[in-house]
Amino acid sequence: MGDPTLSPSSTPPAAPGHLHEHVITSLRDMVLRGELVAGRKVPEAMLCARLGISRTPLREALKVLAAEGFVALRPNRGTVVVPIDPEGLAQLFEVKGALERLIGLCLPDRIDVDALARIEALHGEARAAMEAGDMHSYTRGNHAFHEALAAGTRNDALMQTYSGLQQKILRARYAVNAQPERLRRSMADHERIMAMLRAGAALDLARCLEEHSRHTGQAMLRQLRRQETAKE
């Protein structure tokens, strides 16, 4: 199969300044969305052209991605996009479960009305997306919903750690085709989560969140394994 056909001239020369964050974000998005194919070498020259930068800032960004675990730098042999393996995904969910529990335990004590309102709003959006059958929109809404829950704890370390895991998981989410049945079950979990949150029941909320994470993880794993075996 051929290259992903990235058009080299999609961005104008780009104004000088500090484009760090932008370059990192762009690259990470490309990895997450599967535009940079797992297992393949990162096309340095093309990305430079694509982003309108030289190799220096690109390599700086690749170093950061490597530290985050999205790519691997093999000395003198180029950079490769690390593949998603089911074992690693299961491990990510295991850690995420522990954090979800912590979120549930902290949230009722610390959440304020604004945060609760935002969570309610995001929950509504996700439900609307599900009812409309808009998978892509649901994925984004679901992600935002859980991030908002984490944010409600007012713990930056927790948020950052949680987001890091979510991003890695998001990569797999893009790679697997979500099942409509799964969406409905996920939404049912969300309804229960909201009920516990409104009731301020920390322990129950913690259990719900942990369980929800486990369910999601198991479903994704099954689907990923199914797709992998189907490819052979």
Partner DNA sequence: CGAGGATAAAATGAATTCAGAAAATGTTCA
Partner DNA sequence: TGAACATTTTCTGAATTCATTTTATCCTCG
- Please list, in sequence order, all residues whose beta carbon lies within 8 angstroms of the beta carbon of residue 124, skipping any fewer than 6 positions away: none
Binding mask 37-76 for DNA (x = CB under 7 A): ----x--xx------xxxxxx-x-------------xxxx
The first and second tokens of residue 223, run together, are: 């689907």
218 binds, among a copy of itself, DNA, none (CB under 5 to 8 A by kind): none
User: Which residue among 2, 7, 77, 229 contacts DNA (CB under 7 A)?
Assistant: 77
Binding part of the chain for a copy of itself, among 53-61, 136-144, 172-180, 216-224 by CB under 8 A, reads 53-61
Does position 61 bind a copy of itself by CB under 8 A? yes
Using the minimum distance from each CB to a copy of itself, give the nearer residue, 5 or 54: 54
User: Which residue among 4, 11, 14, 20 contacts a copy of itself (CB under 8 A)?
Assistant: 20
Helices (H) and strands (E) in the chain, counts: 9, 2
Give the phi and the psi of residue 82 in degrees, each rounded to 5.
-75, 140
Q: Integer distance in angstroms from the first to the last C-alpha of the chain?
A: 16
DSSP state of 13: S
Shortest CB 54 distance to DNA, Å? 3
Does position 63 bind a copy of itself by CB under 8 A? yes
DSSP state of 83: P
Does position 54 bind a copy of itself by CB under 8 A? no
The first and second tokens of residue 2, run together, are: 């051929």
41 binds, among a copy of itself, DNA, none (CB under 5 to 8 A by kind): DNA
The first and second tokens of residue 218, run together, are: 């198991």
CA atoms of 208 and 51, how far apart (whole Å): 43
The DSSP line for 181-200 is HHHHHHHHHHHHHHHHHHHT
Residues within window 110-139 making contact with a copy of itself, judged by CB under 8 A: none
Note the Cα 142 to chain centre separation in Å. Answer: 10
Interacting residues with a copy of itself (CB under 8 A): 17-18, 20, 24, 56, 59-61, 63-64, 67-69, 73, 75-76, 88, 91-92, 94-95, 97-99, 101-102, 106, 155-158, 160-161, 164-165, 168
